[in-house]
Amino acid sequence: MFSFTYELPIFYPLCFDIHACNGGGVPPSILSLFTLFALGPRAFHNSFPFNGFRTLSQKCRGGIPPPRKKGRVYERRGPLFKLLRYNGDMAVRLIALDIDGTLLNSRWQLPEANRAAIAEAARRGIEVALVTGRRYDFAMPVAHQLDSPLTMIVNNGALIRSKEGQTHLRHLLPRQTAERVLKLTHPWREGAAVIFDRARDNQLMLEVLDPDDSLRYAYYSRNKDFIGLANPLESCLTEDPIQVMLSGKVAPMREAEKALRSAPFAGEFGLAVTAYESKDFAMIDVINPACSKGSSLAEWAALRGLAREEVMAIGDNHNDLEMLSFAGIPVVMGNGVPELKTFGWHETGTNDENGVATAIEQFALREAAPCA
């Protein structure tokens, strides 16, 4: 399912690239022989398809890379090469965008500059994916504001679906695991919910819907058509859910996270944590251990035949870490959590400064500069 690259040992005297797409319309065998005389045998490498997916090595989309100098990135021009800036040899083909704190500003609005940049990227044939912790139906009001084709990677990677509603991939949480999670986290039951992949009714199951709940009721009131009640909450587990969700103030959620990570069955689930320190609000999504924003983005890129160097990702919070780690061009929002700013990744403006538009224009719509 994932890309695999095999590098021949350096003592092999000669290896030929087997990709037919060398970018110049020259048969690979002729190009290989020409480059052998021009650059010498050390110029050759090998990369091959695995499980039906084209794979890449040394950031080369076919053709033959030259001898490399440390700290530099090259681009092929015919059989010869010139020194270029970062990612010059592989255009961005997929942009992965977080929604809250990234695409939307602090007033939960979509800036026109972000909309225009996404439209221009789509016009140029770049795929755009919204990669979010939101449920599909809660992400769709944002998607409908973008007049572009979109891939929706929702529920922190548990579900991949098209803007039109076609399901591509799904990773459910076993209901036995969900039941154990609910029992373990009973002290935080006030902020617990179970989310299912259902058409409309009973997507989001609660034990109680309290109008006096100042932390959550605004969210619940916007999703009333999808909410069902079950008391006790465990009784709703008639099928495998997408996730168990906990929400509340930051300090209690840290305690809940600690309890979950130290659970004897912690290997049966994964955690995606989102914290808004300034609002004193945090969420924990308990999901299938095989998925995260990053692993699902990698899985989708592999299915699309894309290398990680062709993927750009923009995020702001803890649950974006794996996604940014996977992307060839990781961009952290100016308002991002401090943890994400410790990796030397690119940084753009805040979500109130149209940071997404700035990043797309710099890294996807024109040549990109290297990370620190």
Backbone dihedral angles phi then psi of residue 35, each to the nearest 5 degrees:
-70, -30
The whole-number pLDDT of residue 372 equals 52
Q: What is the CATH number of domain 94-171+292-364?
A: 3.40.50.1000
Which residues belong to CATH 3.30.1240.10 in the chain? 175-287
The whole-number pLDDT of residue 221 equals 81
The whole-number pLDDT of residue 36 equals 38
Please tell me the least confidently modeled range out of 88-97, 168-177, 343-352.
88-97
Closest of 193, 203, 120, 131 to residue 161, by C-alpha: 131
- Segment 135-152 shows an average pLDDT of 96
The whole-number pLDDT of residue 22 equals 37
Which residues belong to CATH 3.40.50.1000 in the chain? 94-171+292-364
Beta strands at 192-195 and 227-229: parallel, antiparallel or unpaired: unpaired
Q: What is the pLDDT of residues 20-37, one digit of tens each?
A: 333 344 444 444 444 334
Check whether 364 has a pLDDT greater than 60.
Answer: yes
Q: What is the pLDDT of residues 39-97, one digit of tens each?
A: 443 333 333 332 332 222 223 333 333 343 433 322 323 332 222 224 556 899 999 99
CATH 3.40.50.720 fits 175-287, yes or no: no
Q: Tokens for 146?
A: 């973008």
The whole-number pLDDT of residue 210 equals 86
Check whether 134 has a pLDDT greater than 90.
Answer: yes
The whole-number pLDDT of residue 194 equals 98
List b or e across 70-85, with b for residues whose CB sees 16 or more CB atoms inside 10 angstroms.
Answer: eeebbbbeebebeeee
The whole-number pLDDT of residue 3 equals 36
The whole-number pLDDT of residue 367 equals 55
- Are the C-beta atoms of 312 and 96 separated by less than 8 Å? yes
Q: In what helix (H) or strand (E) does residue 113 lie, and over which residues does it extend?
A: helix 112-123
Q: How far apart are CA 218 and CA 223, in angstroms?
A: 9
| Average pLDDT, rounded, for the chain | 80
Q: What is the pLDDT of residues 286-319, one digit of tens each?
A: 999 999 999 999 999 999 999 999 999 999 999 9
Q: How many CA atoms lie less than 13 Å away from 273 in the CB half-sphere? A: 19
The whole-number pLDDT of residue 54 equals 28
Those residues with Cβ within 8 angstroms of residue 318's Cβ, 6 or more apart along the chain or in another chain: 273, 274, 275, 337, 339, 340
